[in-house]
Amino acid sequence: MTTTHQAVTCLGCGCACDDIAVTTADGAITRIDRACALGRAWFEGASVPAACTVAGVAAGPEPALQAAARALLAAEGDLLVVLGPDLSTEAVRWALHAADRLRATVDTATSSAAGEGILAAQRRGRAGATLGEIRNRGDVVVFWGVDPAQRYPRYGERYAPGPPGVHVPEGRASRTVVSVTVGDDAGPEDADVHLGVAPADEVDVLAAMRAVVQGRAVDDLAEPLAGAAALAQRLMKASYAVLVHDGEPQAAARSPRRTEALITLVQALNTPTRAALSTLRAGGNANGAEAALTWQTGYPFAVDFADGHPRYAPGARGLDALAAGRFRAALVCGEWRGLAEPARAALAAIPTVLVGPAASTAPFPVAVAIDTGRAGIHEGGTAYRLDDVPLPLRPVLPHPRAADGVLASLACHLADPAFAGRS
Amino acid sequence: MSRLRLAGGRVYDPAHGIDGAVRDICLDDGRIVADLPPDAPTLDVTGLVVMPGGIDIHAHIASGSTNLARRLLPEEHAADPEAAPPFAAGRSGTGGTTPSTFTTGYRYARMGYTTVFDAAVAPLMARHSHAEMQDTPILDTGFYVLMGNDDYLLAELAAGRTRWVKDYAAWLLARTGGYAIKIVDAGGVEQWKAGVKELIDLDDPCGPNGLTPRKVMLALAEAADALALPHPIHLHCNRIGQPGNSATTLRTLEALDGHRAHVTHLQFHCYGGERGKGWRSEARAIIDHINAHPSLSFDVGQVVFGPATTLSGDCPAQYLLHRAADRKWLNVDLELEGGCGIIPYAYKQSAAVAALQWAIGLELFLLAADPWRIVLTTDHPNGGLFQAYPHIIRLLTDRAFRAEALKAVNPKWLQGSALLDGLDREYTLGEICIITRAGPARLLGLAGKGHLGPGADADITVYRPQDDAAAMFAAPVHVLKGGVPVVRDGALVASVAGRRLSVAPAYDEAVVAEVRRFHERFGSVSFENFASVA
């Protein structure tokens, strides 16, 4: 039977486009409408097995859960929990329940660059907006060292500069688009205004722009600061200026002060006009994991429960400590294929429990593998867009097990004092 | 333990006129019953004070903006970790001014509170609030849905199409699983997004064709009345925190003219004076009006000296505070329906405005004629933390304690304050019971809460009477939630899941097509997914 599912949320990138139509027949996706190439790739990776293994041998789900609980309890206090990028927020909540119970160290799909951005926003705050507000108001849109067409293909079409908005009725024609190219990170070619900045000058350029915005006159500037000052003047005349930057790792490492400089510039712009910073984030549901971690622990990533309560350790990420031999066991939830080779080798050396899509096909030895579906394809729940807007996930294909259910069962086993495996 | 007799306590149940009489309270299957057989289990509470569980009518504990505040304040969490309580489902967490969800539930419960309403949830973020509330144990929770800066509503009102307002409000409440209509600075947040940096007044323009905050507020007040919602509009007036705003507040109250309204954190709206020329208290003028108008109720938003976080849908007010306070500042504009602003803050006893704010809150408490229409709040975490409630109770019940506290404040900053006139009222335990549980239950239309009559939820707090009311109310001897003992001698002994409190008023289905048309034109989320909480 052929079924078409409407308003499906895609997790191919942080845009989380939720207008996708997915047609299925006989347990397979046969047609995908409105998705970009990244989205098609996301949905086309849909086929996953439905096995459970203990020590590499096929097992039933319940024995696998019990073996998993035993392995994890044996390493209480010296345990790593990894939250992959494509877990529903509901699954993340249960994984954190287990991590709290096991006094584990939690690491997530939050990239190093994204983590630096979060730390900068924790120092300074930020001035932001949800994507719809950027669509409806942004009349000057600056793409700072990023062309979203590359890694966020529908950003321009869905949010800005393409679509018309309440206060920008002609869409692209109502907006001025500025492309700032920073080294090899090019802005969009079809912009109205272009500015080039050498990576070494980037933070100084942003500081000079902020000085102009704050009315601290800077005369007789040489390039590149003169061009930056002119851009600052242009932004001050906007009704609603938007700066878009990439929160994920780019071609070359950037100054760790870059995001803070962007944040403070956009905050300052809110005195002469209105402005928002839009931070692009990768696909999956890293933003959802950060949200759930924050409401359960107070911290958005790099949380360590080893002391019996949440401790923030952004300078000592769990996956880094894994390679150094810090842990006696690990629970990897969600997608494992993004794990680098050193992490895989370290996981192979300790009892590791994998709960996620195609866990049973991992090419490194694990103690327990429990296959689940993939959030947003086989599993419902919630994912967060790059602007922290929660969206429902609509399963389009069946799978016998969902990660949130498996992790809830695991948490129950861990918390049950009568559980036979405890001793 | 589904059946239990609380025997021999001094019962405070103002809804039934019981003011400290000694009697038994019987519970069965989560509810209060008239009696139990003699062989039912008994808990001896002789000599102890028995009240319904506390109800917080206005706090920010489970919303997208609360979570942004949590994320902004890692230094506070690091200074205030909380280990998991010693039972299987217990969860650890962190505190500070914006505690994590589990810690929020535990800390309220340890204080004897069992029901809390989040004060401001944008429809776009309703799904998030439900998730946080599922992770907030013990407490029954609900939330108020932000309206009055939503582009759809403002456009309809500006075009003179008022016929959909009632149905639109009903649809939003039902769609989001919300409990009441919340108005924050009607029209003012939309103006902020359009570049206006000052707070607009009741009759300033906030849209085309003569649209004003007054018209927006009245349209929603009429909708709430027409829908017979259990709680009326929950109103954050225009011009919060500004000297001279008492004139705005008075005009707002007069404009309501018989409509029901709950005016929230009133303390922040009672200021005379002018910017740069000194502030003064106008609490008496405001409270006189409320005392004379039974359709109005309010919560105080008491300021407490110490740390706070200002966390509000009133973005322009937060911007002005950011400019004045020079602290880190977070602003998020939410598409088509408002926004939020966040600033970590501290109220210093030595600061003129903070001292006046503290005094004005106490004036409102002490001058309020009808305890059923005033509720104890700090607008947590804006004026102070909910954990300060016991301290505030002592300020109200203990004249000598209050006099000592007043001595520590420079009187020259308390211009116009009736506190300087020596207000000597002392709240009785019965009145405290009203302003912390019986009253808010009635104002929220919660028939099963805030009293101890048969059929009520068995949410019960038992205190040991003490001269120090702060100590008494900070550490109850027993707290029962739905009949389950969750706190013993100030410590958690068990956890239960709380329930969601929501309304689902009927509406004309035709409004959905109207909203869909607008949303599909300007929204960034598919209409099927917008505010979807299922």
Residue B229: what pLDDT? 98
* Two structure tokens written together for B387: 């954990």
Count of alpha carbons within 13 angstroms of residue A136, beta-carbon side: 26
Q: Which residues of A67-77 are buried (b: 16+ CB within 10 A; e: fewer)?
A: bbbbbbbebee
Give the residue from chain B lying closest to A277, CA to CA. B332
> What's chain A's length in residues?
423
Give the residue from chain B lying closest to A163, CA to CA. B522
What part of A 245-274 touches B (C-beta under 8 Å)? 267, 270-271, 273-274
Report helix, strand or coil for B473.
helix
Measured between alpha carbons, how far apart are the two ends of chain B, in Å?
Answer: 33
A·B CB contacts under 8 A: 192
* Two structure tokens written together for B534: 């299922």
C-beta separation of B270 from B405 below 8 A:
no
Q: For B133, phi and psi rounded to 5 degrees?
A: -65, -35
Cis peptide before A224 (omega within 30 of 0): yes
Q: How far apart, in whole angstroms, are the C-alpha atoms of residue B528 and residue A6?
A: 9
Residue B17 to residues B13, B48, B430, Cα–Cα distance (Å): 6, 18, 9
Give the residue from chain A lying closest to B334, CA to CA. A130
Interface test with A, best of B68, B71, B189, B196 (most A CBs within 10 A): B71
Residue A418: what pLDDT? 62
Q: List pLDDT tens digits, range A387-423.
A: 999 999 999 999 999 999 999 999 999 987 665 444 3
Question: What pTM was estimated for this model as a whole?
Answer: 0.98
Contacts of A311 in chain B (CB under 8 A): 78, 81
Contacts of A390 in chain B (CB under 8 A): 125, 127-128, 131
Residue A97 to residues A246, A300, A356, A413, B134, Cα–Cα distance (Å): 32, 15, 17, 11, 13
Q: How far apart, in whole angstroms, are the C-alpha atoms of residue A374 and residue B503?
A: 34
Average pLDDT for residues A309-337, to the nearest whole number?
Answer: 96
Q: Is the ipTM of this complex over 0.95?
A: yes
Q: For B7, phi and psi rounded to 5 degrees?
A: -105, 130
CB contact under 8 A, B131 and A292: yes
CA B366 to chain centre: 19
What part of B 206-235 touches A (C-beta under 8 Å)? none
Q: How far apart, in whole angstroms, are the C-alpha atoms of residue B522 and residue A337?
A: 38
Q: List pLDDT tens digits, range B340-356.
A: 999 999 999 999 999 99
pLDDT 10s per residue in chain B (534 long)? 589 999 999 999 999 999 999 999 999 999 999 999 999 999 999 999 999 999 999 999 999 999 999 999 999 999 999 999 999 889 999 999 999 999 999 999 999 999 999 999 999 999 999 999 999 999 999 999 999 999 999 999 999 999 899 999 999 999 999 999 999 999 999 999 999 999 999 999 999 999 999 999 999 999 999 999 999 999 999 999 999 999 999 999 999 999 999 999 999 999 999 988 889 999 999 999 999 999 999 999 999 999 999 999 999 999 999 999 889 999 999 999 999 999 999 999 999 999 999 999 999 999 999 999 999 999 999 999 999 999 999 999 999 999 999 999 999 999 899 898 889 999 999 999 999 999 999 999 999 999 999 999 999 999 999 999 999 999 999 999 999 999 999 999 999 999 999 999 999 999 999 999 999 999 999 999 999 998
CA angle A91, A97, A103 (to 5 degrees): 130
Share of chain A above pLDDT 70, in %: 98
Burial class (CB in 10 A: 0-12, 13-18, 19+), B485: middle
Q: How far apart, in whole angstroms, are the C-alpha atoms of residue B95 and residue B82?
A: 7
**What's the DSSP call for residue B88?**
T
Min Cα distance B314 → chain A (Å) is: 14
User: Which alpha helices (H) appear in B349-388, and where do they start and end?
Assistant: 352-367
Q: How far apart, in whole angstroms, are the C-alpha atoms of residue B65 and residue A134?
A: 18
Contacts of A298 in chain B (CB under 8 A): 70, 73-74, 76-77, 93-94, 96, 98-100
Name the nearest CA neighbour of B192 among B16, B331, B365: B331
What part of B 311-340 touches A (C-beta under 8 Å)? 319, 323, 328-336, 339
Name the nearest CA neighbour of A286 among A112, A134, A84: A84
Question: Please, which residues bridge with residue A220 across strands?
Answer: none
Helix (H) or strand (E) holding A106: strand A105-108
**What's the DSSP call for residue A379?**
B
